[in-house]
Amino acid sequence: MIEIPESKVFASRAENILRGKVVVDVINATNPHRFAWYHGDPLLYSSILVGRKVEEVMGFGCYIDICFDHDTHLAISDGTNMKYFQKADKCPQKFQLLVVFDDSTYVVFTVAMYGGIFAFKGTFDYPYYCGSRDKLSPLDKRFDINFFHQMITDTGKNISVKALLATEQRIPGLGNGVLQDILFNAGINPKRKINTLSDEEERTLFVAIKETLENMISEGGRDTEKDLLGNSGGYHCILSKNTCHELCPRCGGKIIKEAYLGGSIYYCRDCQII
């Protein structure tokens, strides 16, 4: 899933590989997907993309945006996988879009549960895309403790910490994946109500958001996700589906896995008390 670390790290890697390549063909879905979303008619993507040269690849929030000349874009959202292939590689049989370049390499886009693949020229007036691009990221210096405190205050609701951080697109790209280690590092249970946080706990959470995301990026993304070459990130997730049967690395307590607010949460029952 594309969250803040992956949108930054994997976009940079994609730019190094794709920059300067020109699209020569676009092949539409061989496996139509009910929850694969497009901008307009995907059958028209060929007329938008063929002949366009990759200039840069940008990552923001939960989006990766391949930017071509003539103000043309191919953006993918959280839930869409992008993989790069050489001419000699065996092409997957099932995909939601395939883009061929002038050197016979190609990129295949697949959607697992849900995801967007958006080709467009000029502006793209889609709230989630615009929010990911324009809202203040935790990586920005302007996202300071005062901004974070105001965000908590503005919710005006007795909601949980998970609901605050990972719902309603308050912080695009901070999703259920990166949330687990952020809250572990802060020592805060995901079900904890925000109106029970002390000033010190609020500041601890703020620092954990900043430092955890920066560590994930500096170490090449999370090890639960793969880039366009199929390589896993170098950041070892403390709490994830891969570690949920291990003991807490901080106190040795039992790691709990529960369904909560549309996804699984992981926490230590001994040092992340509600």
Q: Where are the domains of the chain?
A: 4-134, 145-268
d(CA 75, CA 255): 36
Q: How far is CA 30 from CA 84, 110, 128, in A?
A: 17, 10, 27
The pLDDT value recorded for residue 47 is 98
Which amino acid, residue 19?
R
Q: Among candidates 172, 243, 238, 249, which has minimal Cα distance to 208?
A: 238
Q: Among candidates 67, 187, 157, 51, which has minimal Cα distance to 118?
A: 67
The pLDDT value recorded for residue 154 is 92
The pLDDT value recorded for residue 164 is 97
Angle at 192 between CA 190 and CA 195, to 5 degrees: 135
The pLDDT value recorded for residue 156 is 77
d(CA 248, CA 236): 14
CATH 2.160.20.10 for domain 145-268: no
> Would you say the CATH fold of 145-268 matches that of 4-134?
no
d(CA 97, CA 182): 34
pTM, two decimals, is 0.95
The class level of CATH for 4-134 reads alpha beta
The pLDDT value recorded for residue 224 is 95
Strand partners of residue 118: 75
The HSE-up count of residue 100 (CA atoms within 13 Å, CB side) is 11
The pLDDT value recorded for residue 36 is 97
The pLDDT value recorded for residue 274 is 85
Listed in order, strand segments (DSSP E) in the chain are 23-28, 36-38, 54-60, 63-68, 72-77, 80-85, 97-101, 106-111, 115-121, 255-260, 263-268
> Across the chain, what does the average pLDDT equal?
96
Which portions of the chain are predicted below pLDDT 50? none
- The answer to whether 103 and 84 have CB atoms below 8 angstroms apart is no
The pLDDT value recorded for residue 157 is 80
